[in-house]
């Protein structure tokens, strides 16, 4: 099976990798809820990036990535770590980037005739 990689998929995958590393880099690794959220969503983004790139299965990856992005924007408030500035800004900014790129990917996808 031949890979189909767009630059947006790569950026979303890199955003996922950043989320996994960000608790240690930004110093909120002791904030358990924020760190667990970053790890979980980050690993999910990387996994779906690999699936999308290799088209192992068509799972509507763009829709899942939009959901991940929206969750990241809402998660500081839903999970109660909005008081931690670095974790909140990181989650919101990465979430906006992921949701925007996934929506762009969805909009750019070939439409059936």
Tokens linked to 16: 């996922």
Per-residue model confidence (pLDDT) at position 36: 97
The tally of CA atoms less than 13 A away on the side-chain side of residue 75 is 26
Distance, in Å, from the CA atom of 39 to the CA atom of 18, rounded to the nearest integer, reads 9
Per-residue model confidence (pLDDT) at position 59: 55
Residue-by-residue DSSP string for the chain: ------HHHHHHHHHHHHHHHHHHHHT-TT-HHHHHHHHHHHHHHHHHHHHHHHTSS---HHHHHHHHHHHHHHHHHHTT-TT-HHHHHHHHHHHHHHHHHHHHHHHHSPPP-
Per-residue model confidence (pLDDT) at position 73: 98
pLDDT in tens, the chain (113 residues): 444 567 888 899 999 999 999 999 999 999 999 999 999 999 999 998 887 777 655 557 888 999 999 999 999 999 999 999 999 999 999 999 999 999 998 877 666 66
Counting every residue written for the chain, the total comes to: 113
Per-residue model confidence (pLDDT) at position 1: 43
């Amino acid at each position: 099976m031949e890979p189909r990689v767009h630059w947006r998929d790569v950026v979303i995958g890199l955003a996922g990798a950043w989320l996994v590393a960000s608790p240690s880099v930004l110093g909120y690794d002791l904030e358990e809820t924020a760190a667990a959220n970053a790890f979980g969503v980050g690993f999910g983004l990387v996994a779906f990036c690999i699936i999308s790139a290799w088209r192992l299965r068509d799972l509507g990856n763009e829709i899942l990535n939009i959901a991940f992005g929206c969750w990241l924007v809402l998660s500081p408030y839903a999970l109660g770590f909005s008081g931690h500035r670095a974790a909140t800004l990181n989650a919101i900014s990465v979430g906006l980037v992921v949701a925007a790129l996934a929506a762009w990917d969805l909009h750019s996808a070939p439409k059936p005739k």
